[in-house]
């Protein structure tokens, strides 16, 4: 499964990552389908490596990745990732840097600077996840949830998703809401579904906003209310995703003008109080 695949349908999906993870976002989204091969360069002269290189190795891994990303976003199609990228990320990962372990796993998964190797990718994703890196925990959850290179195990997937969700990862929070709502890999619990959907919604996750609409429409864990359902569907539709717009419009056709006005006001009031919760804002 390509690292860059976005999940953009009714099943759990990705939105945006935190600004601090910008290099990871570029690695995950902009190299999809690119014909990237390492340039023919010599490995760094080992004599030039500092005697206490731990911190430097992590920085150099990130620097090499930024350099490649900058070139790619500038449209320089002829640029290839440097051999240094693999070298420094490996050195930093071997010294236990969780972010470098996550980046290295992505290189192995995509075959960037090294032949693609799913098992090595999984090994490094797990190493990073075990050190508490939320993006890696979310990725390991996906690996087990989809059975990518491992036996599918929804319980194990949920175990990793909840670790990432508890650290504030919005996609993981949405996943947990979805899993609690539908009883996938965890005991069905509408109250927990509501809790996790709400946390993700407050971070602008459109799928979570849509999930809240579904709970209110069905009356699962909350009083059944078409007006409240419309509120959440309307907020989700602000993301511009056709499936959410269609869902909102389908419900709108069943409402009276007064109900529609009430639902629109509730949506506007919520958006004003939660500026970072607007769909697509993060």
Structural domain boundaries enclosing 241 = 213-273
**Number of Cβ within a 10 Å radius of residue 78:** 6
In three-state secondary structure terms, 185 is: coil
28 in any annotated domain:
no
Q: Rounded mean pLDDT of 48-67?
A: 63
* 158: confidence class by pLDDT, cuts 50, 70, 90: very high
268 in any annotated domain:
yes
Residue 68 above 60 pLDDT?
no
Q: Rounded mean pLDDT of 162-182?
A: 97
Residue 107 above 60 pLDDT?
yes
**Number of Cβ within a 10 Å radius of residue 227:** 18
For residue 45, the 8-state DSSP code is P
135 in any annotated domain:
no
Q: How far apart are CA 189 and CA 29, in angstroms?
A: 33
227 in any annotated domain:
yes
Residue 46 above 80 pLDDT?
no
Q: How far apart are the first and last CA of the chain?
A: 24
Q: How many residues does the chain have?
A: 282
Closest CA to 81 of 114, 58, 57: 114
Q: Rounded mean pLDDT of 89-105?
A: 94
For residue 47, the 8-state DSSP code is G
Helices (runs of H) and strands (runs of E) counted in the chain: 13, 0
175 in any annotated domain:
no
Task: Report whether 160 contacts 137 (CB < 8 A).
Answer: yes
163 in any annotated domain:
no
| Tokens coding 117 | 């190797």
Q: What is the pLDDT of residue 127?
A: 98
Q: What percent of the chain has pLDDT over 90?
A: 63
Task: Report whether 61 contacts 89 (CB < 8 A).
Answer: yes
Summarised one tens digit per residue, pLDDT across range 246-275 is: 999 999 999 999 999 999 999 999 999 988
| 166 Ramachandran zone, left/alpha/beta (phi>0; psi -120 to 50) | alpha
* Domain count for the chain: 1
144 in any annotated domain:
no
Q: What percent of the chain has pLDDT over 70?
A: 72
265 in any annotated domain:
yes
Q: How far apart are CA 99 and CA 116, in angstroms?
A: 19
Residue 118 phi/psi, 5° resolution? Answer: -60, -40
Q: What is the pLDDT of residue 23?
A: 41
């Amino acid at each position: 499964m390509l690292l860059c695949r976005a999940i953009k349908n009714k099943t759990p999906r990705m939105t945006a990552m935190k600004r601090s993870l910008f290099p990871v976002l570029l690695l995950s989204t902009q190299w999809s389908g690119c014909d990237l091969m390492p340039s023919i360069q010599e490995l760094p002269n080992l004599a030039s490596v500092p005697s206490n290189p731990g911190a430097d190795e992590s920085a150099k891994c990130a620097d090499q990745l930024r350099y490649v990303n900058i070139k790619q976003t500038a449209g320089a199609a002829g640029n290839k990732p440097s051999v240094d990228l693999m070298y420094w990320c490996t050195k930093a990962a071997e010294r236990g840097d969780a972010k470098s372990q996550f980046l290295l796993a992505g290189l192995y998964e995509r075959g960037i600077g090294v032949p693609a190797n799913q098992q090595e990718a999984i090994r490094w994703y797990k190493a990073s996840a075990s050190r508490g890196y939320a993006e890696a925990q979310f990725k390991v959850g996906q690996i087990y949830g989809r059975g990518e290179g491992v036996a599918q195990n929804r319980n194990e997937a949920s175990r990793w998703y909840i670790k990432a969700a508890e650290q504030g990862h919005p996609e993981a929070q949405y996943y947990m809401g979805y899993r609690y709502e539908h009883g996938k890999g965890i005991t069905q619990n509408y109250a927990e579904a509501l809790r996790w959907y709400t946390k993700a919604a407050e971070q602008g996750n459109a799928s979570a906003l849509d999930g809240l609409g579904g709970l209110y429409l069905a009356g699962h864990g909350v009083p059944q209310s078409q007006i409240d359902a419309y509120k959440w569907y309307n907020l989700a539709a602000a993301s511009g995703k056709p499936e959410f717009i269609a869902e909102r419009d389908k419900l709108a056709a069943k409402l009276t003008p007064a109900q529609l006005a009430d639902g629109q006001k509730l949506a506007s009031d919520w958006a004003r109080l939660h500026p970072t919760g607007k769909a697509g804002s993060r």
